[in-house]
Structure formats: structure tokens, C-alpha cells
């Protein structure tokens, strides 16, 4: 498949980038959290792209070492002067209230109030994003300037929220492939009005899913999309799908894909899994600036998939690195911080990465003793003696050389330096002439694809 | 053995270099091709150096995916004006006729003729080398200046050639070793008047073979020389010797060894085969500038030996890289392009490389617990306390340290940085004092030599 | 354990450094050799630090390829003019007499005498150190100036020594650990008045042993100290303890630890043994300048431990490299060449290295599916959303991530870049909360620790 347009198709590219940015604008005002109606509404919007299934898991459900928390819904939250002037209001930014704050309605002396206020002294105009999911507490996030303006001895404080038994919800959609093996795309949906983290991931995954659906039936691997609240969501899915998780051959979390930084690919814990090699290849071939970084056990849901009990090879595709850009988890991660062009590029890269994974095959030559005679089949130029070889001829020679049931096309690409798509084309020609047979793939202990039947 | 003289023995070196250059001059005029009398005559000349066997394989013989082609012999080929002036004549250069051109004798209008002419616009005085082995066709190769001079409306064209059932011939000579295992030296003989590619390979292999023959019985490995037409020749040999090929433990193709460039060693497909390591060592120890490059599936007959059905570890020793020098496959690859000194150096390097392979042994210490007492055997200086160790003492210490049946002398050389010949001397001394036992070599899966009896 | 004080505890550090320097001053005048009373007296002094056992092995005892030599004791040695003026006297420096010189008392013509004199032309004031352990001979070591002053035609020469059946002696002390596995600390004791080589090793090992003894019962590994004459001493120990040697999991020789150079760690023959990795980590964490160098088969007793028959993973910790500093094996390796501060630093590094080896554990998470919920156990900050993670939190996350029974804390340290002590603290907290179980260690073939029970 080729979900993304080729470089240079400016107009359509712009259209997809614009469409993703529009989707981000639509989702931006919703008050998402680990649970609650903001997530439900977000999933409903995503449902316009693919017929995702929404799962509701009751509060109190044990999921491995955790328990599904109570559901939190916020109606309003504000701080007002005694004369009723609202100086802080969650209507202005849903970052103002600490996520999962307990309900409150009373006058609070300034000194007490200040202990519940979070600000960023170095960034006087930015509002931080804070949560208190697993410890009962309340609080407001304000800009440093707002904090400075709070001079009255007492304020009326309102957090009209419910924190009560309900459910955790997440979205799931599976595009079936010819094989039962799956590629996992996991996207966290729990962050409120933060665009790069992670409305960008939502937008890219939505358009990716739609593009895949348009070509259903063409793929080898199934592709499973999970739109889950961070940490508890992926743990919940794993707890409910421990068997099914074994089908996941490769995976990615998609996060922070709308900013203007170079790409960052964070490797799986294993470090040399097929998805790691496919990501390196897709990024190299994309021509976009990028960095490949080793796994570390913080970040997003890759932590859960890579945990000792599962060890699923799930990497993470980002642009700016989680926690490493100033706007991270602040109100500055807004609609201007993300742009159509970077979103479009991200969609292009993740599509190419999936194409490499899906197209990675192991072949065996049907004529392994010496080279087969390509010339009489019209696959090689007739006139000998010229010093250079055409790229497609070279792609055929490399593919045949490693067609021993022990090397995949990805191996060929890494070793030859040729483009993966060119090697796929070469393999297609050779198969059409009966010179290659596909082998049944078998994951060996190093995560490299080998041939099960050789 | 030491086929090559030590650096600095200027006179003899010059003699060998001059002898090789003279051989090239002798073979230069012959019209070689995949088949035909030019190859037969060439093999006859090589027969002065060693008693090689000439094999004739009938046209039409199936060899794996290929078929032995008809035999091509050229009597004359020219282009003449209507008044009988020969403007192009294969007597001037046998590059003028496209190899395997079909017979022709008729008047050809200029426009039609031009479609059969090959030239090099960027090199107005050079004639290219072209072949049409596997597609029936005819053509002439001319310089750009000759092309420009063809202004008459019509020319008389003659290609007096036969393309008819006959045979493909190749030369083969085996120097037997103490072991049934062999080192393969493969040289392509199909190129006409091109000196570097590959009369240089013919000359170096001829003197190498003669030097080996002079010391017959001294070697562990047999050395099998093949002088074959490119591609079809090695495929034919493999098809007729599929069993015997299993004896080939290491191999080399020798090509482009007469020019003045630094050396290039092209690794086997495996990349870390013993021959790859021996080549790296021999080149490093030679002091000559050189590059080690990875395998790629074009070039010469290493392609066939390394194919999936055989996977013989055959590398390639060159100076200028195949296809990478301007004179490649043109008339500029002439007698001036090759010189005695580079030919001599090439002979020296390939001899040293064979010596490393042949001398690479695995030993086991007879006194493995702690170091043996070298001093009482007169193998170590009597006076202690000096800060440095003599190189030969160091060579003995290193050899003993790794004399565990799992490391070869090549391992010791790589790890110690000591010269291979010094390690051989050390091992000889230690064996003479009963401190080392040779192990039966066993190729392990990584191509490293291990001990079969440990 | 923490034998060394933290950086900055200037006073105590100075005390330990001063104490080691004082010990060196005490041992400096003793005339040590391979055998004899100088070694006995040295071991007696070391006996003040730990209750070491002194072994006496009779001359003539076969030890592998060697034989325990006769015992050598020197009473006096001098060169005197005919009128009785002693121009060279071993009382001034016990380097003056070649170690193991045969007894002599006669007039020697200058020409004959000069053949028995050793000096350093480039260092006119320094006396070299020479031995003749395994070949009967006599000689004197003198400064170049002393040599020049010998102008009389004949000298009275006296070497009042005994070279007679006796015994070789060495010291041994074992601190028992909870496990039968041991760490070997081997120190050569045979050098006479040379401070860096190896009174520094004696001093560091003495204080190390004492510090370990003060905390007996706290360690996992036993620590075996050997104070042995070089080469023959370690060979003798190995020959008498071939079975016991199998318990040695890691080892170090301690040499040249008092000079002011950066540290040098010489790897084991294996090169990636656990002790090699622990040394690299301990040196990196120490902040001291250092180099890691590959094994080579000369130096000190690591040669014997790493020999093919044992292959014990024994590295070597030094500051200046053996044989690479001008003062090496000369009278300039004196009391000024070593200093309290470098000795103190060396003690600190070797202590830290032992702590890494001793603390290196393999764990298994009790909650391997997804991350355990650290927050509800008070192990993770309550407030979410902040961009950075505290180092201890990070240490817990890394430890849990690799708590799969296949990775040790050293693996975690190498991979995370976190300090080993921080990881130990994290592992301790996690164990206290029931989140980690220790695995029984099992050395796998690569020398990496794995879990025997998984």
C-alpha cells in the first residue's frame, strides 16, 4: 500500500496535511483524561475514519498489577474572586484543572490555594499540564502571570467534577491481513488540549487507518489500531488480550508527530527487531532528517508492550522527543505548534514503514547453482561490456544472491543499499519468471525472518 | 612457499615483472572470446608454465540454467568504402568487432550501419569493448573520430566469422596438497586485447602456478587453477564438478592486476571467511596501499562460486576496481596501462595470501596449565627484568596463549598484531620442542578453523 | 562494602594513603626475591593486616612444567678495591646484586667483572633491576656513573649468598562469602626495593583485605588473596589448587598502583568477562582518568591464570603500564615515585570494582506483565505530567524492565548509564516491596550472569 502521496504532489499532500490539522482543531477543545466523556467523544470522531470498536471496562476491574480507576468527568472548574469574577476558568483552557481533581466548592484562603496551584516560573505565559490520577487531590494549573495576579486573601474555588464508578474506554480497530500475524499501532488518547502530544498521533493514525481500509485485502499482516489512555489503557488491553498479544509481530506507538523537528525513532527494548530495522530503512529512504535512539523505560505505551511478561517488539515514532521540547505538557503545545506539512510527512513515513514490514519476504531461488540466465528471459540487457549495471538489474542480482531462504528483502536492502521498493519490483519480476519462490516466514530468536520450510 | 622475492630484490623482481609483461604482449593480439581458437591458443601459451588440462565442452551442453553456446571464430571483419578502402579493420584492433557478431557481407547504407556502431563520445580516441553473446546481432566498435569520418552514403561491411556448433574450452591445473582440501584460483580468459582485464590475471596466475609447481609437495592445500571464459566458464565447471567443488575451502578470482592503482580486495559473500581474513592480513603486511570492499553480485566469476547453491568462499583480488577506471573495457586498457612493477607486486601479494591460508594451523599446547618454562629450553632470554620482550618471544607467548584447539595462527596474528611469518616461526620452534601439537582442522559454521579432535 | 572513603573525606583518605605509604617504607629495605627470607619477612608484616596463611613449598617440587627452585638468601654482596674500599655494596641498594646470583668470593679482573655488570647508559644515576632465576650466573647492577668509576685493573668481589634446597613461600588469605564462588586478588611479592612494582600492590591489597575483614559475612563472593612470587608462585598455587581454582569466578592482579599516572585496566584474555565489564564501570564511575587495554601474554601473573588449562578470567589493575614508564625496574622506582593520594585512589577503585562484582545480581520481576503500579506503593511521585523523571525512579524503571532472569544489574548499568549504586538502591526498594526476586546466578558461556532457575 502507499497511504502517502509521493513527494512533490504538493496539492494532495497539502490536502491530507490540512485534513489532519483540521481534525486536530476539532479535537482540541475536548476535555480528555484517562477516562470520561472527552475520550468517548474523541473516539466517536475517530469513528468517522474507520469503524472502530469502543470498549468500556468497568472501574474496579483488576488489570495485572493495576485496577481500572473510577471515571472522572468535569463539568466546570474555576477560581473566582469573592465578588464573582472568574480569574481562572477551565473553559479558557482545560489544562487549568489538574486532571482527576476531586470535586470542591468552597472559599479557600490564598495561602491554602497557592499550595494547589502549579505554574512554570520560567515560562510566565504558559500553563502546565498536570495530573493526579492515582492519588486523590485537587489543583489548578495557571500561568505565572495569573499566579502573580492572585492577590486577594480568599477565593471561591469550584471543581464541579465527578469521580465515580464508571468505565475506562478505548478504541480498537483491526484491519485483517492474509496472515494471522499483526502489526500494532498504539496511540494514547488521554491528553486534553495538547496538540503535538498527542492529537498529532490521533490525526496521523486516523488517516493511516482510513488509507489502509481503502485497500483492504492487499496486506499480509493484519494491522491493529489501539486508541487507549496512556499506561492504564495499554495495560488493560494487554490484560484482556494476553493470548491475542502473541500475534503481534511488530508494533509502534505514534506520538508527537505534528511539530517541525526531525524525526525520532525510539527502538524496541530488543534493539534490533524487524520493526527497528524497517524504521531505520524507511527513515533513511524518506530523506527526512532523523535520529534513531535506544529504548528507555519511560515515554509512552511502548513501556507496557516491551515489559518482561510480553516483550512485544514495539518501537515509537516521534518527531520532537517526549519531554525534550519546551512546549511539552504545556499550553504552548497548541494549534500553532503543529503544522500540516510535518503531519503529512509523518503519515508518509509511517506508511512507508508499514509497507517495508508488510513487504518483507524471504525467498528461495529456483535456480540457485550459479546465476540464472537473465538475458534469455529479457531481464538483462543484451549488449555486454558496459561498465555499469542498471539499478533494476542490480536489484535482481542482489535478490537472487540472497535468495537462500535465510535472508529477507530487508536484509537485501540493508546489504545492497538499494531502495526497498526497487527490490520489491525486482522480486516481483523474478517471481513472474519462476526464478523465486516465497518461503513461509518464521521468526527466529533474533527477530530476523527466516524460512520455516528450508 | 614464497613465490615472490622479498621487497628490494630489485633485479629479480624486475625480471618476473618483465616476464609477465612480455607474456601479456604475447597474448595481446589474440582474438579471444567466450569460445574459439583465440582461447585455445591462449591456453596453449599458458601450457608453457604448467601442464594444464584443456577441456572442450560441446555446444548445447546444458549447464544448470544455461546452455553451452555455439563456438565463434572470426577470420576477418572490416568496413570499406565502395572503392575498397578499409576504414575499420579488426586487424588493427580485435575490439573493432562486437564479440559473437553474426557473419555478414554486404553493402550497408550509412544510416543502417550507424545503428550497429558503438563509440565513446567522451573519449574520442578510444574504442569500446562490446559483446553480444546471448542475442544474435552484429556490430562494430569504433572510436568517436572514426565514427565522425564515416560520411559516405554506403559502406561495404564484412564480418567473416563462424558461429556454429563446436565447444567451449577452459584450462585446469591442480597442484595437489597433502590434504584433499583445495584453494581455487579462477581467472577469466575470454577478453580480447585488453591488458589489465584480464591478461594481467593470466600473467600473474601463470607465474604463480609455475612457482607453486617448483615446490610441489610442500603445501597443505591443493591449489586448483581454472582459466575459464567469464560466467559461462565457471558455471560450466561448477556443473561438471558439483561434487568436487565441495573440496574448495577458499578461493580467489584474479582480475585487473597490472595497473598502477592501490590493491582492492573484494570480500566473499560471507564477508568474514578465512580467505577474507587472510587477504586483509596479507595486504596489511605487504605495506601496499589497499582497500577491502564488501561483496556485491556483479564483477567476475566470484558471482557463480558464491551463488546460493554453492556458497564457496571466493573473494576477488584486483588493483583498480572492475568498472571503476576509465580505461575499463576500452582500447586504452593497452600495453602501456599495465606495467612490470605492479604485476610483480600483485604476484607477491597473492603468493603471500596463499601462504597465509596454507600456513594457517590450529594448535594445542602440550603444557596448557600455566606457561611452559621456555627459559630452560633456551627459548627465552636468561636474564630477567628487562622491560621489553623480543618479538620472537612475544610470538611464542601469543601462540601458546591461544593454543587451545579453538584458535588458528590467523586468529593469533589478528589479535597480536604480529607478522604471520613470525608466528609461523614461533610455532615451528615450539613444535620442535614438543610444546605444540597440531589439531586436525575443521571448518566451523562461521568459516573459522577449529579443531576437530578437541 | 565500602573499603574506601568517599571522595572529599580528605583527612581519612590521607590517613589511609599515608598508612599505605608508611607500609611501603617499612617493606622497602627488605631483600625480596623468588624465595628466601625477604619474602618471609614481607608476609610476616602483611600478617598484621589479616591472618594470612604462609605456605612453604619445598625446592624440587614439580609444578606443571616447572620445578620449585632452590631457595636463595643473600647475606652480603659487594665489590671492593684491592685496598678494601667497597665501591658497590648491596647494603646501599639491594638492586645492586642480580637476584639469584651464585655465591662468589674472589679477585676478578676488571674486564671479566664488566661482563657481569649491568647499567643503564641513558640513565646515568639509576641502577637497573635484573634477575637470573633460572640460569646459574652472578652479576651486579650499577649506575652508569658507578660503572665509569671502576678503573682499577682488579676488584675483590663478594656475593655471600646461599642457593640451596629450601622452599618457596607464599601467603594466602580467604575471606569467605555466602557463596562458594570466589574473587581472586593476586599480588606478586618477589620484587626487592621497587616501590611501584610492587610494594604499591602489597600495600593496597593489605588495606583492602583488612577492610573486607572488618565486614566479614556481608559478601556474596569469597575473596581469596594470594601474595606470591611472580610466575612460579602463581603456577605453584595453581598446581596445588587445580580443583579449587574452579571456584574463581573473577580475578585481578594488582600491580603498580602507587604512581601518579592514570589508571590502566588490562582485560582478561576473554575480553568481555564480568570482571572486565565491572572494571570498566567502576573506573568510569570513579571519574579518574583511565585506559582499558586488551590482554597480552606478558606482564604479571594474569598470564598463568588465563592460560589454556585454566582460562580464569583474571584482569590486571595498574596505573602506569608495566614496562612503559622509565622508572620501571630501576632504582628510580623509589619512595618518591609513589604517593599517598594515588595509593588511596587505587584502593578506592579496587574496592568499588569488588563492590560491583559482589552486588551484581540477576532479578526477576514478580509483576512482569506491564509495569507494576509504583505510585500506590509510594515509589513514584503522585503528580503526573512533569517532563523529567527522578534518577531513583528511573533506576527502578530500568531495573524492572530488565528483571527477566536474563540480565544482571551490571547489564542494567551498562544499558541505562545509571550509577551501579543507584541501581542497587532501586533494586533494594523493589525487593522490599516484593516486586523483585533474586535469581540464582549461573555463568553462561559468554561469562555473563544468567538465571539458573528460569
The predicted pLDDT at position C3 comes to 42
The predicted pLDDT at position C442 comes to 56
Nearest CA in chain C to B364: C308
Please list every residue in chain B whose beta carbon sits closer than 8 Å to the beta carbon of residue C297. 371, 394, 397-398, 400-401
Of the residues C382, C383, C384, the best mutation for testing chain A's interface (the one with the most A CB atoms within 10 Å of its CB) is C384
Mean pLDDT of C266-285: 98
| CB A248, CB A174: distance < 8 Å | no
Which residues neighbour A100 within 8 Å (Cβ) at sequence distance 6 or greater?
A33, A34, A69, A72, A131, A132, A133, A137, A163
| CB A131, CB A197: distance < 8 Å | no
| A340–chain B nearest CA distance, Å | 42
Of C288 and A442, more confident: C288
Is this complex scored with an ipTM above 0.85? yes
The predicted pLDDT at position A450 comes to 53
Please list every residue in chain C whose beta carbon sits closer than 8 Å to the beta carbon of residue A297. 371, 394, 397-398, 400-401
Judge: C382–A231 Cβ closer than 8 Å, yes or no.
no
Helix (H, G, I), strand (E, B) or coil at C187: strand
Q: How confident is the model at residue A445 (pLDDT cuts 50, 70, 90)?
A: very low
Q: How confident is the model at residue C322 (pLDDT cuts 50, 70, 90)?
A: confident
- Which residue in the set A133, A238, A323 is minimally distant from C370, CB to CB? A238
Q: Are strands B154-164 and C404-408 parallel, antiparallel or unpaired?
A: unpaired
Judge: A376–B132 Cβ closer than 8 Å, yes or no.
no
Mean pLDDT of A22-33: 98
Pull the grid cell for residue A312. 512485544
Look at domain B15-69+167-359 and name its CATH class: alpha beta
Q: Is the pLDDT of residue C451 over 70?
A: no
Asked whether the bond before B381 is cis by omega within 30 degrees of 0, the reply is no
Which residues neighbour A214 within 8 Å (Cβ) at sequence distance 6 or greater?
none
The predicted pLDDT at position B7 comes to 43
CA gap A73, C53 in Å, rounded: 75
Strand partners, C89: C78
Nearest CA in chain C to B375: C134
Question: Is the Cα dihedral A83, A85, A91, A96 positive or negative?
Answer: negative
| CB B141, CB B132: distance < 8 Å | no
Cβ–Cβ contact B272 with A under 8 A: no
Q: What is the mean pLDDT of each run of 10 residues along chain B (454 residues)?
A: 41 79 98 97 98 98 98 98 96 97 97 97 97 93 97 97 98 96 98 97 98 93 98 98 96 98 98 98 98 96 98 98 93 98 98 98 97 93 80 96 97 97 96 94 50 54
pLDDT tens by residue, C179-217: 999 999 999 999 999 999 999 999 999 999 999 999 888
Please list every residue in chain B whose beta carbon sits closer than 8 Å to the beta carbon of residue C304. 370-371
- Terminal-residue alpha carbon distance, chain A: 29
Cβ–Cβ contact B384 with C under 8 A: yes
The predicted pLDDT at position A29 comes to 97
Judge: A132–C376 Cβ closer than 8 Å, yes or no.
no
Q: pLDDT exceeding 90 applies to what percent of chain A?
A: 89
The predicted pLDDT at position A22 comes to 98
Name the CATH architecture for the domain at B71-164.
Answer: 3-Layer(bba) Sandwich (3.50)
The predicted pLDDT at position B1 comes to 38
The H or E element containing residue B363 is strand B362-365
CA gap A352, A191 in Å, rounded: 27
Helix (H, G, I), strand (E, B) or coil at C180: coil
Which residues neighbour C286 within 8 Å (Cβ) at sequence distance 6 or greater?
C263, C345, C348, C349, C352
CA gap B396, B381 in Å, rounded: 13
- Which residue in the set C134, C269, C328 is minimally distant from B375, CB to CB? C134
Nearest CA in chain B to A393: B298
The predicted pLDDT at position C444 comes to 46
Pull the grid cell for residue A224. 491493529
Identify the chains in contact with A, defined as 3+ C-beta pairs within 8 A: B, C
CA gap C173, C224 in Å, rounded: 6
Q: Are strands A362-365 and A436-438 parallel, antiparallel or unpaired?
A: antiparallel
Which pairs count as long-range contacts for C84-90, CB under 8 Å and 24+ apart, including other chains? C84/C156, C87/C146, C87/C149, C87/C150, C87/C155, C88/C140, C88/C142, C88/C146, C90/C31
The H or E element containing residue B63 is strand B62-63
Cβ–Cβ contact A84 with B under 8 A: no
Of the residues C139, C308, C330, C333, the best mutation for testing chain B's interface (the one with the most B CB atoms within 10 Å of its CB) is C308
| CB C45, CB C26: distance < 8 Å | yes
Mean pLDDT of A431-447: 75
Task: Give the residue extent of every domain in chain C.
Answer: 15-69+167-359, 71-164, 362-451
Judge: C370–A66 Cβ closer than 8 Å, yes or no.
yes
Nearest CA in chain B to C62: B373
Cβ–Cβ contact C143 with B under 8 A: no
Mean pLDDT of C382-400: 89
- Please write down the HEC assignment for all residues of chain A: CCCCCCCCCHHHHHHHHHHHHHHHHHHCCCCCCCCCHHHHHHHHHHCCCCCCEEEEEECCCEECCEECCCEEEEEEEEEECCCCCEEEECCCCCCCECECCCCEEEEEEHHHHHCCEECCCCCCCCCECCECCCCCCCCEECCHHHHHHCCCCEEEEEEEEEEECCEEEEEEEEECCCCCCEEEEEEECCCCCCHHHHHHHHHHHHHHHHHHHHCCCCCCCEEEEEEECCCHHHHHHHHHCCCHHHHEEEEEEECCCCCCCCEEEECCCCCCCHHHHHHHHHHHHHCCCEEEECCCCCCCCHHHHCCCCCCCCEEEEECCCCCCCCCCCECCCCCCCCCHHHHHHHHHHHHHHHHHHHHCCEEEECCCCCCCCCHHHCCCCCCECCCCCCHHHHHHHHHHHCCEEEEEHHHHHHHHCCCHHHHHHHHHHHHHCCCEEECCEEECCCCCEEECCC
Please list every residue in chain A whose beta carbon sits closer than 8 Å to the beta carbon of residue C374. none
Strand partners, C155: C108
| CB A167, CB A145: distance < 8 Å | no
pLDDT tens by residue, A114-143: 999 999 999 999 999 999 998 899 999 999
Identify the chains in contact with B, defined as 3+ C-beta pairs within 8 A: A, C
Judge: C369–A309 Cβ closer than 8 Å, yes or no.
yes
Mean pLDDT of chain A: 93
Cα→Cα distances C138→A261, B375, C168, Å: 77, 17, 21
Cβ–Cβ contact A122 with C under 8 A: no
Of B449 and C374, more confident: C374
Q: Do domains C15-69+167-359 and C71-164 have the same CATH topology?
A: no
CA gap B298, A374 in Å, rounded: 13
Cβ–Cβ contact C310 with B under 8 A: yes
Judge: B383–C128 Cβ closer than 8 Å, yes or no.
no
Cα→Cα distances A161→A32, A105, A194, A308, Å: 13, 10, 21, 37
CA gap C42, C54 in Å, rounded: 11
Give the least confident one: A12-21, A124-133, B10-19, C47-56.
B10-19
Cβ–Cβ contact A186 with C under 8 A: no
Q: Which residues of A376-388 are buried (b: 16+ CB within 10 A; e: fewer)?
A: eeebbeeebbbee
Whole-prediction pTM: 0.92
Helix (H, G, I), strand (E, B) or coil at B78: strand
Cβ–Cβ contact B372 with C under 8 A: yes
| C125–chain A nearest CA distance, Å | 57
Of the residues C240, C293, C297, C320, the best mutation for testing chain B's interface (the one with the most B CB atoms within 10 Å of its CB) is C297
Residue found by looking up cell 589454556 in the block: C308
| CB C128, CB C118: distance < 8 Å | yes
Q: Are strands A71-80 and A86-89 parallel, antiparallel or unpaired?
A: antiparallel
Pull the grid cell for residue B291. 582497500
pLDDT tens by residue, C61-107: 999 999 999 999 999 999 999 999 999 999 999 999 999 999 999 99
Nearest CA in chain A to B141: A385
Cβ–Cβ contact B132 with A under 8 A: yes
CATH of domain A362-451: 1.10.10.10
Cβ–Cβ contact B365 with C under 8 A: yes
Of the residues A102, A137, A308, A318, the best mutation for testing chain C's interface (the one with the most C CB atoms within 10 Å of its CB) is A308
Amino acid at each position: 500500500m502507499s497511504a502517502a502521496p509521493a513527494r512533490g504532489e504538493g496539492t494532495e499532500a497539502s490536502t491530507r496535511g490540512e485534513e489532519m490539522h483540521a481534525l486536530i482543531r476539532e479535537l482540541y477543545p475536548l476535555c480528555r483524561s484517562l477516562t470520561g466523556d472527552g475520550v468517548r467523544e474523541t473516539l466517536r470522531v475517530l469513528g468517522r475514519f474507520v469503524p472502530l470498536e469502543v470498549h468500556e471496562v468497568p472501574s474496579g476491574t483488576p488489570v495485572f498489577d493495576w485496577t481500572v480507576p473510577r471515571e472522572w468527568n468535569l463539568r466546570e472548574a474555576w477560581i473566582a474572586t469573592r465578588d464573582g469574577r472568574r480569574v481562572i476558568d477551565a473553559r479558557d483552557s482545560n489544562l487549568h484543572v489538574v486532571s482527576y481533581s476531586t470535586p470542591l466548592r468552597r472559599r479557600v484562603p490564598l495561602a491554602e490555594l497557592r499550595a494547589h496551584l502549579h505554574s512554570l516560573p520560567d515560562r510566565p505565559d504558559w500553563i502546565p499540564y498536570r495530573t493526579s490520577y492515582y492519588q486523590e487531590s485537587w489543583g489548578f494549573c495557571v500561568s505565572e502571570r495569573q499566579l502573580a495576579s492572585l492577590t486577594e486573601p480568599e477565593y471561591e474555588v469550584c471543581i464541579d467534577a465527578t469521580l465515580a464508578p464508571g468505565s475506562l474506554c478505548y478504541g480498537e480497530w483491526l484491519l485483517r491481513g492474509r496472515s494471522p500475524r499483526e502489526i500494532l499501532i498504539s496511540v494514547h488518547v488521554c491528553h486534553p488540549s495538547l496538540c503535538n502530544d498527542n492529537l498529532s498521533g490521533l490525526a496521523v493514525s486516523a488517516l493511516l487507518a482510513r488509507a489502509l481500509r481503502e485497500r483492504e485485502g492487499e496486506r499480509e499482516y493484519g494491522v491493529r489500531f489501539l486508541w487507549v489512555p496512556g499506561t492504564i489503557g495499554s495495560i488493560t488491553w494487554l490484560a484482556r488480550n494476553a493470548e491475542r498479544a502473541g500475534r503481534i509481530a511488530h508494533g509502534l506507538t505514534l506520538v508527537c508527530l505534528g511539530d517541525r523537528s526531525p524525526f525520532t525513532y525510539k527502538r524496541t527494548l530488543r534493539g534490533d527487531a524487524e520493526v527497528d530495522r524497517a524504521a531505520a530503512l524507511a527513515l533513511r529512504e524518506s530523506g527526512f532528517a532523523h535520529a534513531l535512539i535506544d529504548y528507555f523505560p519511560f515515554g509512552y505505551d511502548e513501556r507496557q508492550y516491551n515489559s518482561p511478561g510480553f516483550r512485544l517488539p514495539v518501537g515509537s515514532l516521534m518527531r520532537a522527543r517526549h519531554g525534550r521540547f519546551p512546549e511539552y505538557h504545556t499550553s504552548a503545545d497548541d494549534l500553532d505548534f503543529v503544522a500540516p506539512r510535518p503531519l503529512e510527512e509523518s503519515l508518509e513515513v509511517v506508511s512507508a514503514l508499514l509497507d517495508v514490514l508488510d513487504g518483507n519476504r524471504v525467498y528461495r531461488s529456483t535456480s540457485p547453482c550459479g546465476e540464472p540466465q537473465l538475458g534469455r528471459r529479457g531481464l538483462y540487457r543484451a549488449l555486454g561490456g558496459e561498465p555499469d549495471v542498471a539499478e533494476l538489474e542490480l536489484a535482481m542480482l542482489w535478490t537472487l544472491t540472497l535468495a537462500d531462504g535465510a535472508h529477507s528483502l530487508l536484509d537485501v536492502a540493508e546489504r545492497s543499499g538499494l531502495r526497498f521498493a526497487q527490490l520489491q519490483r525486482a522480486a516481483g519480476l523474478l517471481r513472474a519468471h519462476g526464478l523465486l519462490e516465497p518461503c513461509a516466514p518464521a521468526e527466529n530468536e533474533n527477530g530476523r525472518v527466516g524460512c520455516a520450510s528450508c
